[in-house]
Amino acid sequence: MITSHSNPKVKQVIQWQNKARERRSAGVFLAEGFKMFEEVPRECLQQVYVSEVALERIGRKPEIERKLNDVGYETVAGDVFGKMSDTQAPQGILCVVRQPVYCLEDLLKAESPLLLLLEDLQDPGNLGTIIRTGEAAGVTGVIMSSGTVDLFNPKTIRGTMGSVFRVPFLYVDSLPLTIGALRQRGIHTYAAHLEGEVFYDAFSFREPTAFLVGNEGRGLARETADQAERYLKIPMEGKVESLNAAVAASLLMYEAHRQRSAR
């Protein structure tokens, strides 16, 4: 059992919780909680830490117990586990997971790709919600600018509720260049933009489609938005000037889902 706060493994986990650079260097991220443990593909699990209290509860969860015994784990004293955890009320199980790696071709395998392109989103909760909603709406991939918040931020990972293991994603250095490459591949690109003159439900998204959603405060950069084939807008009443990025992305993704489901 790990009982010391100064244990090298404890220190390493704390670094991975707090520093994106450390996560990138090691090629790992952390996932906490019983549901996330169940969601992690076994081949991606590198290490599992379980608190003393959690071990008592696991006996009542046979599927989790079988997986734990299969992959192996280390027991951690309760107070030490609290230091390793990123949550206020830890469930007592923490996984070190290998970061999945995708290329653009992985995101374009579907017969009619449905992509979401995100520019410089900064809120981890927004990104987690978008990844989770994207899976539910049938998105085949998410492409992010290099200035977008780290997908492997612990808050983002919690927000995905396991969808991070099933939705292919990619960070790119130049979103405008990537949009150009997508257009050459026959993918229609639409920018959610306040200057749009046509409501989003007037377009057809049955063909290969990519939606562009910008930063929470600034929206899309002009250089990026101008690469899109069309601007579209979401109707807003009252004095509201813009919508939350995750809400806007969800509306667009589900409109595409509605249209494609009605074929």
Backbone angles phi, psi at 221, to 5 degrees: -65, 150
Q: What is the helix (H) or strand (E) element at residue 176, kind and residue range?
A: helix 175-184
Q: How far is the C-alpha of 79 from the C-alpha of 246, rounded, in Å?
A: 36
End of a domain among 38, 66, 98?
Answer: 98
Residues 140 and 231 in one domain: yes
What distances in angstroms separate CA 246 from CA 52, 124, 250, one per listed residue? 38, 11, 6
Q: Are residues 89 and 216 in the same domain?
A: no
Q: What is the CATH number of the domain that holds 33?
A: 3.30.1330.30
Q: Are residues 52 and 166 in the same domain?
A: no
pLDDT at 238: 86
Helix 245-261 / helix 124-137 crossing angle, nearest 10 deg: 0
Strands 169-172 and 114-118: unpaired
Identify whether residues 184 and 203 lie together within a single domain.
yes
Q: Which of 63, 79, 98 corresponds to the end of one domain? A: 98
Same domain for 204 and 233, yes or no, is: yes
Helices (H) and strands (E) in the chain, counts: 12, 10
What distance in Å separates the CA atoms of residue 27 and residue 75, rounded to the nearest whole number? 23
Same-domain pairing of 161 and 176: yes
Q: Looking at the structure, tell me whether residues 69 and 55 fall in a common domain.
A: yes
Q: Establish how many alpha carbons lie within 13 A of residue 122's alpha carbon, considering only the half-sphere containing its beta carbon.
A: 5
Range of the domain at 76: 8-98
- Is 2 among the domain residues? no
How high is the pLDDT of residue 263? 63
Domain tally, the chain: 2
The last residue of a domain, from among 64, 98, 132: 98
pLDDT tens-digit profile, the chain (263 residues) = 999 999 999 999 999 999 999 999 999 999 999 999 999 999 999 999 999 989 888 877 888 999 999 999 999 999 999 999 998 889 999 999 999 999 999 999 999 999 999 999 999 999 999 999 999 999 999 999 999 999 999 999 999 999 999 999 999 999 999 999 999 999 999 999 878 889 999 999 999 999 999 998 889 999 999 999 999 999 888 887 778 899 999 999 999 999 999 86
Domain match, 109 and 220 both? yes
| CB 175 within 8 Å of CB 214 | no
Q: Domain check: are 89 and 121 in the same one?
A: no
Q: Is the pTM of this model over 0.85?
A: yes
HEC per residue, 44-107: HEEEEEEEHHHHHHHCCCHHHHHHHHHHCCEEECHHHHHHHCCCCCCCCEEEEEECCCCCHHHH
Q: What is the pLDDT of residue 240?
A: 78
pLDDT at 113: 97
- pLDDT, residue 217, reads 86
pLDDT of residue 10: 97
Alpha carbon 82 to its chain centroid, in Å, reads: 25
Whether 135 and 203 share a structural domain: yes
Closest CA to 196 of 173, 225, 221: 225
Spatial contact of 144 and 151, defined as CB atoms under 8 Å apart:
yes
Q: Is residue 3 part of a domain?
A: no
For the chain, the first-to-last Cα distance in angstroms comes to 57
CATH number of the domain that 191 lies in? 3.40.1280.10
